[in-house]
A and B are shown apart, each in its own frame.
Chain A
């Protein structure tokens, strides 16, 4: 997808004017928050598990080269072919070259954010390979021509009424009911034959296991295994930060991921893959390719963004973000929305075109609190603001305002007089109504809410008056 984060403000205006979007976001975020809270409350060992998860990720990042080399050797020993890509273009070139070599006409695909990140959809289209999205949400947005709006539930922006309309238009045998169960059934009917006829199956991976060379997928629908088993080739595209030392280490994350993402103790299907079909196996692909992608990750490793590489893409930070819940994922204009996206998008592109993202945050800290690997998202967003400031990207208004205020705040005597005068003016303006409906200079506040009428005298003025008596 084309990144449009520079139009964040325009996206926000459009999003806030869309009542259906509000309904969709409300329905989903409410349910997801409740479910997560319940399942975390039931998991007495949560705090210890979360701490261990953070440490395991940090340990793996500290020894990244060691584990990647180990993974590669074991994956190759299992019969997989391992490829490396620095950029999205290198990654998609590898994928399309494989498709071409296989003479592939169609590919089924399991949702993976890395796939979105490298633009696999566009690349397959350009290579003339029909792409069949098999995750229900990805299927919905593929039919609608929308980009994803959430990393776990890419169709979160759609109500079931909208999905029903879409399926009626696009499915061969749509259901005549708007019930969600009927919609799911309709998608099942539509996709079933396609699974078995695809030439290539493309997946991402939730984890890479260094000591076995396995890749791991977790899904609830079972579409990963249906995508990766029937075709003769399985291609995995995955970020290098997904690695963990062993299967035992992975269990710590399996417990946290599904709890944080959907409020479940475990997802329905957790599958470890080791290379292609073994001799005599009843089914499975003949070849397996694993494309390990950097795309700015090694850059992040060397700076303050390093903790972001702990991310397991659970989506909890966005489910609990008040800004995300108000404007939805499309407003961010990037593959990764919400708090984690506001950190990743600048890291993967540039500070300037993504200027709004780190600023459009109240720094309330909920994202950090719910993050299963304790990523200090608010601190990182704040640090990005500092970098914007250093790079001279802050607006002249903000800079000027801060400079004047900062100058004054360093002169307490003058500051007291200035605030005293300003508050007195405001008090006069309020005409003793208790609240102020409109105030010059505070238009962005008073457009939506009232200002209180200040008391007669600031605290310092009143205090000094009293103590003089």
Chain B
């Protein structure tokens, strides 16, 4: 269809010679990552939860963490957080049934997200022990901007959702085009920048503060 496309493929074949068959290529590709453990940071002796918390609260990632037994405790913990950081009792809430159905008591809840939203609360689909990251899959009840516009982001993470390594996240999502949401956001702490004199500063464009509520039984 496009002449540029043809020309590029022609130039590649001039440089590379005839293409090999797809199965051979796939086998070679898989062999390159056949033993992922030798390619990634090991943390034997540390379970997923401990590692996740250690990384999430590290100097670089800067999240704070609290624990809850069940989802029902989340509204109370959010209210505590709001008081602690001196914010009004108003939150942008991810429009998921699991969160909507909770009793938010005195906290007033809305599902839109404003340019200067002070605080948003969402459930992470997954978390990563290796890096202390939380993962969001975009969808009808998971707007992407909820993760990026607010100044404070409160993230609910189910302990059972914590995966050991980044690869495990991708395994969960599934390889292949069909299973992919539009966005898979891997978020590791708060927005930062080192663009001025390489000094690390928090709250560049996205959240400056992240609080994680670890729920034992989601």
Q: Do chains A and B touch in the complex (CB under 8 A)?
A: yes
Interface, chain A (partner B; CB < 8 A) = 24, 27-28, 31-32, 35, 42-45, 48-49, 52, 55-56, 59, 61-66, 68-69, 74, 77-78, 83-86, 90, 134-137, 140, 153, 155-156, 158-160, 163, 180-181, 183-185, 187-188, 191-193, 195-196, 211-214, 220-223, 225-226, 229-230, 240, 245-249, 251-252, 254-255, 262, 264-278, 280-284, 292, 294, 298-299, 301-302, 306
Which among A42, A63, A249 has the highest number of chain B CB atoms within 10 Å? A63
Knowing A84-B8, A196-B115, A248-B170 touch, does A59 contact B191 (C-beta < 8 A)?
A: no
Q: Can you name 10 extra interface pairs (CB under 8 A) apart from A65-B13, A160-B199, A281-B139?
A: A43-B41, A86-B4, A184-B204, A214-B184, A221-B205, A226-B145, A249-B29, A249-B33, A281-B182, A282-B138
Of A63, A188, A252, which contacts B203 at CB under 8 A? A188
Q: Is the CB of A270 within 8 A of B142?
A: no
Q: Is the CB of A188 within 8 A of B145?
A: no
Interface, chain B (partner A; CB < 8 A) = 2, 4-5, 7-9, 11-16, 19-20, 22, 25, 28-29, 32-33, 36, 38-42, 55, 60, 95, 115-116, 131, 133, 138-145, 147-149, 165-167, 170-171, 173, 175-178, 180-199, 201, 203-207
Knowing A282-B139, A302-B14 touch, does A226 contact B205 (C-beta < 8 A)?
A: yes
B33 to chain A minimum Cβ distance, whole angstroms, is: 6
Among residues of B, the one whose C-beta sits closest to the C-beta of A299 is B11
12 A-B Cβ contacts within 8 A? A45-B40, A68-B8, A86-B4, A220-B191, A220-B204, A221-B204, A248-B175, A265-B60, A270-B188, A281-B182, A282-B139, A298-B14
Q: Kindly state the separation between the CA atoms of A49 and B29 in the bound complex, as whole angstroms.
A: 15
Q: Kindly state the separation between the CA atoms of A74 and B175 in the bound complex, as whole angstroms.
A: 11
Knowing A212-B175, A226-B206, A301-B12 touch, does A153 contact B38 (C-beta < 8 A)?
A: no
Residues of A within 8 A of B195 (CB): 135-137, 140, 153, 155, 221
Q: Is the CB of A283 within 8 A of B206?
A: no
Q: Is the CB of B201 within 8 A of A84?
A: no
Q: Kindly state the separation between the CA atoms of A292 and B173 in the bound complex, as whole angstroms.
A: 26
Among residues of A, the one whose C-beta sits closest to the C-beta of B187 is A269
Q: Is the CB of B115 within 8 A of A193?
A: yes
Q: Is the CB of A65 within 8 A of B9?
A: yes
Q: Kindly state the separation between the CA atoms of A381 and B197 in the bound complex, as whole angstroms.
A: 29
Q: Kindly state the separation between the CA atoms of A191 and B186 in the bound complex, as whole angstroms.
A: 23
Q: Is the CB of A55 within 8 A of B32?
A: yes
Among residues of B, the one whose C-beta sits closest to the C-beta of A182 is B201
Knowing A55-B32, A65-B13, A85-B4 touch, does A271 contact B184 (C-beta < 8 A)?
A: yes
A367 to chain B minimum Cβ distance, whole angstroms, is: 19
Which among B33, B180, B198, B199 has the highest number of chain A CB atoms within 10 Å? B198
Among residues of B, the one whose C-beta sits closest to the C-beta of A140 is B195
Q: Is the CB of A284 within 8 A of B16?
A: no
Q: Is the CB of A153 within 8 A of B198?
A: yes
Q: Kindly state the separation between the CA atoms of A206 and B135 in the bound complex, as whole angstroms.
A: 19
Residues of A within 8 A of B8 (CB): 68, 84, 86, 240, 292, 294, 298
Of B2, B131, B186, B192, which contacts A271 at CB under 8 A? B186
Q: Is the CB of A272 within 8 A of B183?
A: yes
Q: Is the CB of A184 within 8 A of B201?
A: yes
B44 to chain A minimum Cβ distance, whole angstroms, is: 11
Q: Kindly state the separation between the CA atoms of A64 and B189 in the bound complex, as whole angstroms.
A: 35
Q: Is the CB of B191 within 8 A of A268?
A: yes
Q: Is the CB of A245 within 8 A of B182?
A: no
Residues of B within 8 A of A277 (CB): 182
Q: Kindly state the separation between the CA atoms of A44 and B44 in the bound complex, as whole angstroms.
A: 13
A246 to chain B minimum Cβ distance, whole angstroms, is: 6
Among residues of B, the one whose C-beta sits closest to the C-beta of A197 is B115
Among residues of B, the one whose C-beta sits closest to the C-beta of A162 is B196
Among residues of B, the one whose C-beta sits closest to the C-beta of A156 is B198
Q: Is the CB of A45 within 8 A of B39?
A: yes
Q: Is the CB of A66 within 8 A of B206?
A: no
Residues of A within 8 A of B184 (CB): 214, 271-272, 274
Knowing A45-B41, A48-B38, A255-B40 touch, does A78 contact B177 (C-beta < 8 A)?
A: yes
